[in-house]
Amino acid sequence: MIAAINGKLGEGMSSVRYRCLCQNCLRVAGYPTYDQANEAKCFGCGGEMCACGSCEETINALGRGLRDAQALGLKCDVDTWNPRDGGAFA
């Protein structure tokens, strides 16, 4: 089961233990196991999902409002972002 994360665990999210980040659109999804998180495809664009520590740090930085590509380790700046829809890029 895939569950989008909107900043906190909500209804039906109690079994989510791992957040993962789409490597294409930067959407966030949650899964109960690390293996499920890393084997998943993005529910929005079909991209690869990753639940590694670096991606968790990127999710946290985006959540704090960081949008600079170099600081985030991305190829381009992020104009807007939210966990459900991912990013819009500069």
pLDDT tens-digit map of 28-75: 999 999 999 989 999 999 999 999 999 999 999 999 999 999 999 999
Query: Order of strands, edge to edge, in the sheet holding 28-31?
Result: 3-4, 28-31, 18-22, 49-50
Does the pLDDT value for residue 1 go beyond 90?
no
Does the pLDDT value for residue 4 go beyond 70?
no
Q: What is the pLDDT of residue 90?
A: 75
Strand partners, 4: 29
What are the residue ranges spanned by the domains of the chain? 3-89
Q: What is the pLDDT of residue 14?
A: 60
Question: Which is more confident, 33 or 1?
Answer: 33
Q: What is the pLDDT of residue 3?
A: 45
Report the distance separating Cα 43 and Cα 58, nearest Å.
19
Report the distance separating Cα 44 and Cα 40, nearest Å.
12
pTM of the entire predicted model: 0.80
The secondary element (H helix, E strand) that includes residue 58 is: helix 53-63
Q: Cβ(11)–Cβ(4) under 8 Å?
A: no
For residue 59, what are its two tokens? 């999710």
Does the pLDDT value for residue 81 go beyond 90?
yes
For residue 13, what are its two tokens? 């999210």
